[in-house]
Amino acid sequence: MNLIVDVGNSSVKLAVFQDYKLLESYTSSIEKFFEKFQEIKKDYPQIAFSILSSVIKDTSELEKILEKEAKLYVLNESTKLPFKNNYASSQTLGKDRLALVAAGSLKFQDENLLIIDAGTCITFDFKNNANEYLGGAISPGLQMRLKALNHFTAKLPLVDLDENVPLIGDSTQNSILSGVLNGVSAELDGIIDRYKAGYKYLTVILTGGDTQILSKRVKNSIFANPNFLLEGLNYILEFNKTQ
């Protein structure tokens, strides 16, 4: 049984897998990680392996906790991957993007695949039908755009995200929401169209925290999978067990 730990800037996502089956997932603050970890171990004492992926540099305390209970793999530049990585600056490639491509190589190994992760940033990652990762793009996410409009102007307010917004904003708030939501939706559709023009039989996965709100607005055919990153980390763990 595997424990997956994905540390973000402000929270930690955890998941328990039995082989390739997701049993349960959790979200915790970094401060309450030890408490949540103990709860999970109590519910699943069979956990024997774990993998840690983190955007923060110092994970020594987390590693000490995990190492005591299970064999730990830490995702880094030297971790063996289940796909060929053709990214030019692999040392600066985000671990979340590696995990997403790993999930793609598990479920769509022989397909041209575009993975869109809609979170703090919107990342686009492309894997071809030869199971080679070529790269992609990084764009500001919904919340980042809303905050930027407020921060870099004198009078525009910071508004809360609301998916029920018309194309034509009838107030400053609705104009901001229309610009951000419709702008991002058009961006996604436009990029998907360009990939489709260059690669036949393209499969598109949409994942990340803003999956639900964006999946309703994208015109192109997509597969929404909020657990794609966790599945990818689990696959990397399973892959490295056999190396």
Give me the pLDDT at residue 161, please: 93
Write down the domain spans for the chain: 2-74, 84-228
Distance of alpha carbon 167 from alpha carbon 80, whole angstroms: 46
Catalytic residue among 96, 125, 160, 193: 96
Give me the pLDDT at residue 201, please: 93
CATH class of 84-228: alpha beta
* Residues tagged in the binding site annotation for ATP: 6-13, 120
Give me the pLDDT at residue 129, please: 97
* Residues tagged in the binding site annotation: 6-13, 87, 94-97, 117, 120, 172
Distance of alpha carbon 76 from alpha carbon 99, whole angstroms: 11
Distance of alpha carbon 148 from alpha carbon 197, whole angstroms: 32
Averaged pLDDT, groups of 10, the chain, 243 residues long: 90 94 93 92 95 88 90 92 94 92 96 95 97 97 97 96 91 96 97 96 94 92 92 96 84
Give me the pLDDT at residue 141, please: 96
Give me the pLDDT at residue 41, please: 93
Domains 2-74 and 84-228 share a fold: yes
Angle among Cα 164, 165, 171 to the nearest 5 degrees reads 135
* Residues tagged in the binding site annotation for K(+): 117
DSSP 92: G
Chain segment 28-84, per-residue pLDDT in tens:
998 898 999 999 999 999 999 999 999 887 888 889 989 998 999 999 888 999 999
For the question of residue 189 being annotated catalytic, the response is no
Give me the pLDDT at residue 90, please: 86
Give me the pLDDT at residue 242, please: 85
Distance of alpha carbon 193 from alpha carbon 236, whole angstroms: 30
Q: What sign for the dihedral angle of Cα 140, 132, 196, 235?
A: negative
CATH class of 2-74: alpha beta
